[in-house]
Amino acid sequence: MKVMKDIINENKLALSTLITFTRAEHTIHKKELETIKESGLTTAQFGVLEALYNKGDLRICEIIEKILTTSGNITVVIKNLEKDGLVKKNLDPKDKRSTIISITDSGKKIIEDILPKHIENINEIFSVLTKEEQITLKNILKKFKNI
């Protein structure tokens, strides 16, 4: 019977790769949040506004899909954005049971103020890699999509 030490040693590369990946992801995420936090928005609020700004009017289920979140808090996020005048809700003319979420002019202004800084921040994050390394990393990470 193998002892735990042997199991760990046999899987050292996978374990250390996971640790390195997790630390890098944490560092990247923390740095990415800087410009979002400066705006006074939460990550979820920024995600909703950014999705509406770039994709146009969306149903809640489409927003959830676009910003890669669960439905758990999205209704509260949208309610708070609506209260702040950044989005508005309308009944879907094609399906009265469904609601369409739209970004307001105030919401557009916030995104237009934040997005250039956010993109600059993302470029700074990835400046440690060459363009070729970024492409390679992206292709490697895509392999994990369906595990």
pLDDT of the residue at 71: 67
CA angle centred on 63, ends 58 and 66, rounded to 5°: 115
Domain boundaries, the chain: 1-143
Helix (H, G, I), strand (E, B) or coil at 147: coil
Entry pTM: 0.81
d(CA 147, CA 54): 29
Task: Determine the CATH number of domain 1-143.
Answer: 1.10.10.10
- 74-132 residue pLDDT tens: 989 999 999 999 999 998 888 888 899 999 999 999 999 999 999 999 999 999 999 99
β-pair partners for 16: none
CA distances from 114 to 6, 15, 52, 54, 110 (A): 50, 37, 14, 14, 6
